[in-house]
Structure 1
Amino acid sequence: MSALGAAIAFSVAACNNQTGFSGSVGNTPNGPALASYDILGTIGTPFTATVSDARSSWTLQGVTPLSILIANNILPAAIVATKTTSNSNLLSVEVIHGNQVIDLQSTSAPFGTVSVQTGGIPSSIASPASPDLRIFVAGPAQQRYSALVEDITTGWVIDSRAPTLILFDNPDGKVDATFFGSHDFGSFTLNMTLNGAVVATVVHGPDATIREP
């Protein structure tokens, strides 16, 4: 895994009994690099989407741009996004792994639909995630950050831009995440939902930690 600078180096060290819920999460080695599912196009275009890996699925509504990552995902994985407007705004969905675009599809059709996948073609949409734990990084918009998201066994290193939706598939125990911004980053706006209910909200910067209660 490539280095993400001093901040992320600190975060990797911190995953050993420093940043976890209740003060300790044990030894959490890093998981493999995660793919990013980026929904782009005309800024502010509304959409609905279904994200699915081989084990779980999630449905959501949003506006472009939005980056989605699945922590602890099992390939193959796919995303289907549909515009909810009748205009000709562009809606694009791409899968990025490292610096490589794995798949890219776009539409400007009214109520157009696009789908992309990685790791093969899923045979069907998996059952809804249970538990359904999500972390939404609302801002600062378009500011790049690094993060460590972890359960009690594995930490996932993330390098992304807000807004970002992090989906944690089948967590082992409770989940926490520490986010790192640059010196002049401002404040993160974070919220964590569990099965649709908000369980934690944090506004802090340039670094911030959010934990499942």
Structure 2
Amino acid sequence: MVQRTMRRMVRVLSISAVGTALALAVAGCNNQTGFSGSVGNTPNGPKLSAYQILGDVGTPFTATVSDTRSSWTFQGNAPLGVVICNNILPARIVATKTNTSSNLLSVEIIIGAHVASLQSTTAPFGSVSVQVGGVLSTLASPADPDLRIFLSGPLNKRYVALVEDIDTGFIINARAPTLILFDNPNGKVDATFYGSQDFGTFTANMTLAGQVVATVMKGPNATIREP
């Protein structure tokens, strides 16, 4: 168990050193499963889409994000980062303000350190739509299973996370709040979050089909697992 944790820390910290300048960077890694206790030898995962919903702080919205296989609908307030693990491009996100204010709402798609697409609105109940990797003419069916991890805090502090199923692990370098979606996982999913020594307490929950199945409040590192 100690060796497995050390391997994870070394892998995550090495990638973190490369990615500290990124706003929201996602890359693959060789997987270490959280359930079998054995070291995997899987290839690196594909470069993933990351989404930033920005604008005036607190602006409420509803959004749907979709790749070619699955879609997810959620509500929130700006700012919010969204990452789909294991997604297949093209991908698209549609976000709509849910109030009559003239507040700014912006949505951007990031691939690595590159902003691939950006759109903004200040209109009451204004809507924005951006996509990457080609044209996704219709949204996919709702994800099944619909597994989500929402990291609500600590706000605006950078962290690194390893999110994995039994086949593939993905590194996320981000700031909370972050919504992590795992598309079509093979087996159960776990996520380990790493912060600096004075990071504070991670607050996260995992939902499956809309039901909370795991929660964690711990720092500077924390792990959440699908039961």
Residue pair 2:96, 2:127 contacting (<8 A) in 1 also: yes
| Unaligned segments of structure 1, at least 5 residues | none
In structure 2, distance between residues paired with 1:50 and 1:24: 36
Alpha carbons of 1:145 and 1:103: their partners in 2 closer, same or farther (altered >3 Å)? Answer: same
1:94-133 alignment, distance < 5 Å: 94-133=108-147
Equivalents in 1 of 2:155, 2:39: separation in Å? Answer: 30
Give the TM-score, by structure 2 length: 0.86
How many residues are aligned here? 205
Q: Distance in 1 between matches of 2:144 and 2:211?
A: 13
TM-superposed CA distance for 1:23, in Å, is: 4.4
The answer to whether the 8 A contact 1:25-1:151 is kept is no
Identity of aligned residues (%): 69
Secondary structure at the aligned position of 2:16 is classed as coil
Structure 2: runs of 5+ lacking an equivalent: 1-13, 21-28
Let me know the Cα RMSD of the aligned residues: 1.8
C-alpha separation in 2, matches of 1:190 and 1:125: 28
Amino acid across the alignment from 2:221: D
User: CA shift at 1:54, angstroms?
Assistant: 0.2
Q: In structure 1, what is the equivalent of residue 32 of structure 2?
A: 16
**2:105 is equivalent to residue 91 of structure 1:** yes
Structure 1 position 38, deviation (Å): 0.3
Shift of 1:162: 0.3
- Is the CA contact (8 Å cut-off) linking 2:62 and 2:75 kept in structure 1? yes
- Note if 1:202 corresponds to 2:216: yes
Task: From the superposition, tell whether residues 191 and 27 of structure 1 become closer, same or farther in structure 2 (CA, over 3 Å).
Answer: farther
Q: Which amino acid aligns with 1:152?
A: I
The answer to whether structure 1 residue 59 and structure 2 residue 73 are counterparts is yes
What is the TM-score of this pair, normalised by structure 1?
Answer: 0.91
Say if 2:32 and 2:169, in contact at 8 Å, map to a contact too. Answer: no
Q: Which amino acid in 2 is paired with 1:66?
A: L
Q: CA deviation at 1:37?
A: 0.4
Tell me how far 1:61 sits from its aligned partner.
0.4
> Given the alignment, which residue of 16, 41, 58 partners 1:4?
16
Q: Within 2, Cα distance between the matches of 1:137 and 1:203? A: 10
2:88 to 74, 81, 93: 74
Contact 2:164 2:191 in 1 (8 A): yes
Q: What per-residue deviation string (whole Å, max 9, x for no partner) do you get for residues 125-180 of structure 1?
A: 10000000000010000111111100000001111110000000000000001111
Per-residue Cα deviation, 1:66-92 (whole angstroms, up to 9, x for no partner): 000000001100000000000100000
State the 4+ residue runs in structure 1 displaced beyond 6 angstroms: none
What pairs with 1:12-51 in structure 2 (closer than 5 Å)? Answer: 15-17=31-33, 20-21=34-35, 23=37, 26-51=40-65
The corresponding residue for 2:176 is 162
